[in-house]
Amino acid sequence: MIPAEIRRDFPLLAEVCYLDSAATSLSPEPVLQAMLEYERHYRANVGRGVHRLSQIASQKYWDAHRKVAAFIGAAEGETVFTRNTTEAITLVAEGLRFRPGDRVVTTLLEHHSNLLPWMRLRDRKGVELSIVPPAPDGTVTPDAVASCIDDHTRLVAITHASNVLGNLLPVREIGRVAREHGALLLVDGAQSVPHLPVSVAELGCDFLCFSGHKMLGPTGTGVLWMREPTLEPLIVGGGSIDRVTDEAYTLTGGYARYEAGTPHIAGGIGLGRAVDYLQGIGMAEVRSHEERLTRRMMEGLRGIAGVTVYGPGPGPGRIGVVSFTVEGLHPHEVAHALSEQEIMVRSGHHCCMPLMNHLGLPEGTVRASLHVYSSGEDVDRLVEALQGVAGGA
């Protein structure tokens, strides 16, 4: 059980009922304190100074990488800090040196951030793009993906969990098919890494992209993990080199090769602290807490006349992201009515327009999403308020 004291670490929860964690999570006090501590006591640039403050800042920033790597079962030095998942995916799209005729396979469940970078490669570089549609319940089977993979396939880019329907995808099995054809696997872990135990070894992926700001870390933080540092860096410059003459330069090894320029140092350190915080609770505990609440939410929502809930039923096949519509009301009207009662939910297409069109929901859905600090009272408050909103429609 998650102790009630956890909520005290998130002061905003005393003011609002926050059910929009899939968009961005809240940060607990220890994360805010870690960032402030950097600003107040050892603010300096990293990786390039010998003075005391620079040494401390560099060590803490490196520690944050180490913690994040361990969090996903990766080795030290394999994680690159980015601004968000979008940037992490773009680093792969722009760094893999695609050639005309190469194929990328993805799905229609993807967030625009795991679709547009591949569409742009199609438009600019003549890369062939296959977009696998899900079954009506949102499932994407390894067979459906396999039918699009051929020997020209360089990469399969797929989400681990849908940010609309909440379903988990069989990424491990899909990865096995990809490997049989010599293709690489990129997993968009934006909605999985913050909520369940994830190990890159178990997933068998080549790239894992996720957002620090969805896992209790600061905004402006994200992560790219890659098996081999073979990508061409998107930007080069200070901090990313071993040696420069006026004729040539040698890029440095490890994550620094991909983090040219001064990074978001306080953000990285805050993200490291967020990882400590989640691990202090335990990701298995986070997962079962959210599973319990998801069941409570889905059962409550399904009991309201006029409310339709999408995605798979509660259980191990989904995360705590629940999309629904209310008959006779635009999703924005519902979110607005709930906001007036201090209940924060997301509405619209959730950056998944092609999926929404495929589902016949061009106006989108209302989406309530959970995190470790969510409570049964939050869920009950949503259900109760919706009974009023749906009843008045």
Write out the catalytic residue numbers.
Answer: 351
**Residue 104 and residue 111: Cα distance in Å, rounded?**
16
Q: Which of residues 187-246 bind ligand PMP (CB under 6 A)?
A: 188, 190-191, 211, 222
Closest distance to ligand PMP from the beta carbon of 197 (Å): 18
Give the one residue of 111, 257, 367, 371 binding ligand PMP; rule: CB under 6 A: 111
Closest distance to ligand PMP from the beta carbon of 245 (Å): 37
Nearest CA to 259 out of 282, 279, 239, 275 is that of 239
User: What spatial distance separates the first Cα and last Cα of the chain, rounded to whole Å?
Assistant: 37
Residue 98, sorted as left (phi over 0), alpha (psi -120 to 50) or beta, turns out to be beta
Q: Which of residues 249-308 bind ligand PMP (CB under 6 A)?
A: none
From residue 343, how far is each of 56, 145, 175, 206, 340 by CA, in Å? 41, 38, 39, 39, 7
114 part of the interface to ligand PMP, by CB under 6 A = yes
Q: Which of residues 46-105 bind ligand PMP (CB under 6 A)?
A: 84-86
How many residues touch ligand PMP (CB under 6 A)?
16
Which single residue is written with the structure tokens 């491990």?
172
142 vs 194 by CB, closer to ligand PMP: 194
200 vs 304 by CB, closer to ligand PMP: 200
57 vs 366 by CB, closer to ligand PMP: 366
Q: Which of residues 138-197 bind ligand PMP (CB under 6 A)?
A: 159, 163, 188, 190-191
Q: The dihedral of CA 272, 273, 278, 280: what is its sign?
A: positive
**Residue 188 and residue 335: Cα distance in Å, rounded?**
27
Phi, psi angle pair for 214, to nearest 5°: -100, -5
Which single residue is written with the structure tokens 């009662």?
341
164 vs 309 by CB, closer to ligand PMP: 164
Closest distance to ligand PMP from the beta carbon of 179 (Å): 23
Which single residue is written with the structure tokens 């699009």?
148
Instruction: Report H helices in 251-375.
Output: 265-281, 283-302, 331-339, 353-358
Closest distance to ligand PMP from the beta carbon of 214 (Å): 6
Q: Which of residues 329-388 bind ligand PMP (CB under 6 A)?
A: 351
CA 78 to chain centre: 18
112 vs 381 by CB, closer to ligand PMP: 112
Closest distance to ligand PMP from the beta carbon of 218 (Å): 12
Query: What is the DSSP-derived secondary structure letter of residue 135?
Result: P
- Residues at the site binding ligand PMP, with contacts judged by CB under 6 A: 22-23, 84-86, 111, 113-114, 159, 163, 188, 190-191, 211, 222, 351
